[in-house]
Amino acid sequence: FAKEALRDLVIEGKLVRVCRGLYMLPETSVDEYEVCQLKIPKGIFSYDSALYLHKLSNRVPQMIHMTISYDYKVTGIRDKNANIVFHYVSPDILALGKSTVNTSFGAQVISYDPERTILDIIKD
């Protein structure tokens, strides 16, 4: 029953489907960082995205950078229109420098802290 009700609300224009299982009101803006975090809960924002989230860059990144463990399988995201770049690391170091930060819309997401971000940029 719930699927049909959601479908009807989308058809009527009362809801907008953002992605599978995620809907929003038509008059609201999409927080891409929050959506990415919901789609990839084990991902951590890194590189340019982390700099932007920590307000160390005033340039909005063209691509969203996320770091994930190399043994984590990301499904349903790898289409040609996705604007996400994945960086893979060992599970042993994935959580080093992990912090919580607010997006410009006020949602809490997981990002690397400024120190880890700068080290990753220098390393690459």
| Nearest-5° Cα angle at 106, 116 to 40 | 60
**What pLDDT score does 80 carry?**
52
Please report where in the chains the tokens 């960086």 appear, as a residue.
Answer: 87
φ/ψ (deg, to 5) at 101: -140, 155
- What integer pLDDT is reported at residue 1 of this predicted model? 61
HSE-CB for 41 with a 13 A CA cutoff: 1
- Contact (Cβ atoms closer than 8 angstroms) between residue 102 and residue 33: no
Q: pLDDT tens across 34-70, in order?
A: 989 988 999 999 999 999 999 999 898 999 999 999 9
Residue 100: strand pairing partners = 110
pLDDT score, position 6: 87
pTM for this predicted structure:
0.83
What is the distance, to the nearest Å, from the Cα of residue 82 to the centroid of all Cα atoms in its chain? 11
The stretches in the chain having pLDDT less than 50 are none
